[in-house]
C-alpha cells in the first residue's frame, strides 16, 4: 500500500519531453510494454467515483492494483501479486470496493496497452520524480463491438525522496513544452468517460447550495473511509463515524433546507452505533494503557495490564468483525443508495431558496440557543444524578452547534469558526467529565471480573481514583468555562 501523488498531462503525438537538467540527475529513459485489464460494474460505479481496479502485466510493478482517491492528484494504491485468473478479482480487493459496487458483479470493462518510456530524476541515492511518457491504446468492452481509442499522455509522479516543489518545477517545464494539465483523473476515466455523479439543481448563493454541497462532502468522506475501516487502519473507524455524525447533525440542523430526512437520520444513527462499539473500546484501551504507563511499578499488581489491554483488544477485534459484516450487508448498501439520492435529488424546503448568509446564520444561532436551553433545563433539576444525566444533552447540543458552525464556516465565514471553537470547548469539558465517569464504570466491571478470578484488584482502585479526580476536576471547572463561553458567544452572534 502506498500514496500516489502525480500530475497528469495531455500531449500531442509529436510532443518531445523537455530538457530536465538542473532539477536532478537524469536516469533513463527506460522502455516498458504494459498490458492492463480494468474491472468495474457494468454501469461503471468505480470509475464514476475515481476508483480504478486493474490487473497489469509488464513494467516494474506487475500485479493487481487498486487506486482509491484521497484528494486531487493524490490516490492511495494497494497492490497484490498477480494471480493466474483474469476473470476473478482477488477477494481482498473486491471487499475493499463494496461501498462502490454494493453487491454488483465486477467484470472486465476495458483494456489498456501502454508503451511507456520512464525518466527518473535523482539526487544521489534518492529518487525525486518519475516522468512517464505513455503511448496508449485503449479498448472498451461492452455488449457491442469493442471500441478502440489511442492517445499520448505524460505523468510526473512524486517519489519517496522528492518534494512537491520539485514536482511543480517538472510540471512547469512540461507545460512550457506544450503539455496541458489533464482533466481526467486516470487513463481509465479518459477512456471510458463515465458520466459525472448527478448533482442537485440548487441555485448559486442559496442555502440549498451550501447545505447540499456540505452533505456531498461528508458522503465522500464516509465512502473514502470505508476501505480503510475494512483494513482496520488507524483512526479509520473514528473518521467514518465522524462523517456519519456530521451528516446526521446537518440533517437535523438544516431540516428546513433539506426536508423529510428522518429515515436517513435513523440509518446514520444505526451506522454510528455499529462503528461506535469498536471505537469506544479502542479509545478506552488506549486511555488505560496511558494511565498504567504513568504509574510507579509498585502500584501495578496482578495481570491488570493483560486484562485492560489484551482482553479489551480481543473485544475490539470482535467488534471489528461485526463492523465488516454490517458493511457488507443490504442495510448498509441501502443507506449508501439513500445518501446518493439525497445528494442528487434532495427534497428541498422553502428555506433552500433563501440567501445563504441570511438563512444559515440564523440556523447557527438557533442551534446555539438549543445549548443554552438544554443547560437551563438541566440546572432546574434538583436531583444531582438526574441533573448529571441531563447535562449529557448539553454536550450533544454543543456538538451539534459545533458541527453546524463548522459546516458553514467555509461558505459564509463570518464568526462561524469562532462559534465552532466555543461550542467545542463546552463539548470537550463535558466530555472529559463523561469519559471519566464511563471509565470508572468500566474499571469497576473489570475489577469484579478480576476479583472472581482470584486476581489482585489494588491497581483497579488506583485507576478509579485517578479517573474520579479527572471527572471531578472537569465538573468543578465547567461553571467558569460556561460563563466565559456565554460572554464570548454574545459577541459572535
Taking only the tens place, the pLDDT of each residue in 271-325 is 999 999 999 988 899 999 999 999 999 999 989 988 888 888 888 899 999 999 9
pLDDT given at position 302:
87
| pLDDT of the residue at 385 | 84
What pLDDT sits at residue 439?
92
Residue 1: what pLDDT?
A: 56
Q: Give phi and psi for 106, each to the nearest 5.
A: -95, 135
C-alpha grid cell for residue 264? Answer: 436517513
> What CA dihedral angle connects 83, 88, 91 and 93, to 10 degrees?
80
- The backbone region for 182, taken as left when phi is positive above 0, alpha when psi lies in -120 to 50, beta otherwise, is beta
- Give residue 359's pLDDT: 87
Decide if 208 contacts 352 (C-beta within 8 A). yes
CA atoms within 13 A on the CB side of 215: 33
Contact status, residue 417 vs residue 376, Cβ threshold 8 Å: no
Cell 441570511 sits at which residue?
358
CA angle 403, 407, 412 (to 5 degrees): 135
Go through the chain and tell me how many residues it has: 493
Range 384-393 contact pairs with CB under 8 angstroms and sequence separation of 24 or more: 391/430, 392/430, 392/434
pTM metric for this prediction: 0.84
Grid coordinates belonging to 491:
459577541
Across-strand partners of 32? 116
Low-confidence ranges of the chain (pLDDT < 50): none
- Residue 91 CB burial class (10 angstroms; 0-12, 13-18, ≥19): exposed
> For residue 72, what pLDDT is reported?
65
Amino acid at each position: 500500500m502506498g500514496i500516489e501523488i502525480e500530475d497528469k498531462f495531455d500531449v500531442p503525438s509529436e510532443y518531445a519531453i523537455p530538457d530536465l537538467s538542473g532539477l536532478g540527475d537524469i536516469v533513463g529513459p527506460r522502455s516498458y510494454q504494459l498490458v492492463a485489464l480494468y474491472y468495474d460494474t457494468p454501469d461503471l460505479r468505480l470509475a464514476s467515483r475515481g476508483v480504478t481496479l486493474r490487473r497489469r502485466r509488464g513494467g516494474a510493478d506487475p500485479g493487481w492494483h487498486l487506486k482509491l482517491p484521497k484528494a486531487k492528484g493524490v490516490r492511495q494504491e494497494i497492490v497484490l501479486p498477480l494471480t493466474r485468473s483474469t476473470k476473478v478479482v482477488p477477494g481482498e480487493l473486491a471487499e475493499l470496493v463494496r461501498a462502490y459496487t454494493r453487491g454488483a458483479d465486477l467484470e472486465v470493462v476495458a483494456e489498456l496497452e501502454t508503451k511507456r518510456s520512464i525518466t527518473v530524476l535523482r539526487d544521489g541515492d534518492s529518487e525525486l520524480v518519475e516522468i512517464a511518457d505513455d503511448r496508449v491504446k485503449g479498448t472498451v468492452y461492452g455488449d457491442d463491438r469493442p471500441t478502440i481509442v489511442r492517445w499520448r499522455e505524460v505523468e510526473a509522479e512524486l517519489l519517496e525522496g522528492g518534494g512537491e516543489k520539485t514536482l511543480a518545477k517538472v510540471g512547469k517545464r512540461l507545460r512550457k513544452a506544450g503539455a496541458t494539465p489533464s482533466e481526467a483523473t486516470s487513463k481509465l476515466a479518459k477512456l471510458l468517460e463515465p458520466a459525472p455523479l448527478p448533482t442537485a439543481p440548487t441555485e448559486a448563493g442559496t442555502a440549498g447550495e451550501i447545505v447540499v454541497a456540505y452533505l456531498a462532502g461528508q458522503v465522500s468522506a464516509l465512502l473514502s473511509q470505508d476501505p480503510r475501516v475494512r483494513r482496520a487502519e488507524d483512526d479509520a473507524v473514528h473518521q467514518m463515524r465522524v462523517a456519519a455524525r456530521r451528516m446526521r447533525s446537518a440533517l437535523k440542523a438544516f431540516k428546513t433546507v433539506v426536508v423529510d430526512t428522518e429515515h436517513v437520520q435513523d440509518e446514520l444513527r444505526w451506522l454510528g452505533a455499529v462503528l461506535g462499539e469498536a471505537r469506544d473500546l479502542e479509545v478506552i484501551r488506549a486511555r488505560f494503557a496511558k494511565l498504567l504507563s504513568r504509574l510507579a511499578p509498585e502500584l501495578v499488581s496482578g495481570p491488570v495490564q493483560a486484562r485492560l489491554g489484551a482482553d479489551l483488544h480481543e473485544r475490539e477485534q470482535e467488534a471489528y468483525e461485526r463492523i465488516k459484516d454490517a458493511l457488507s450487508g443490504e442495510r448498509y448498501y441501502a443507506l449508501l443508495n439513500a445518501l446518493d439520492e439525497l445528494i442528487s435529488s434532495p427534497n428541498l424546503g422553502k428555506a433552500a431558496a433563501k440567501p445563504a448568509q441570511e438563512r444559515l446564520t440564523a440556523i447557527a444561532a438557533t442551534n446555539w440557543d438549543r445549548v443554552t436551553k438544554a443547560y437551563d433545563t438541566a440546572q432546574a433539576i434538583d436531583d444531582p444524578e438526574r441533573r448529571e444525566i441531563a447535562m449529557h444533552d448539553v454536550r450533544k447540543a454543543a456538538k451539534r452547534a459545533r458541527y453546524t458552525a463548522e459546516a458553514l464556516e467555509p461558505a459564509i465565514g463570518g464568526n462561524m469558526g469562532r462559534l465552532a471553537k466555543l461550542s467545542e470547548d463546552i463539548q470537550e469539558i463535558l466530555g472529559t467529565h463523561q469519559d471519566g465517569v464511563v471509565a470508572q464504570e468500566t474499571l469497576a466491571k473489570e475489577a469484579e471480573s478480576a476479583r472472581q478470578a482470584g486476581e489482585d484488584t489494588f491497581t483497579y482502585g488506583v485507576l478509579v481514583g485517578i479517573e474520579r479526580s479527572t471527572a471531578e476536576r472537569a465538573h468543578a471547572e465547567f461553571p467558569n468555562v460556561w460563563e466565559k463561553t456565554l460572554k464570548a458567544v454574545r459577541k459572535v452572534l
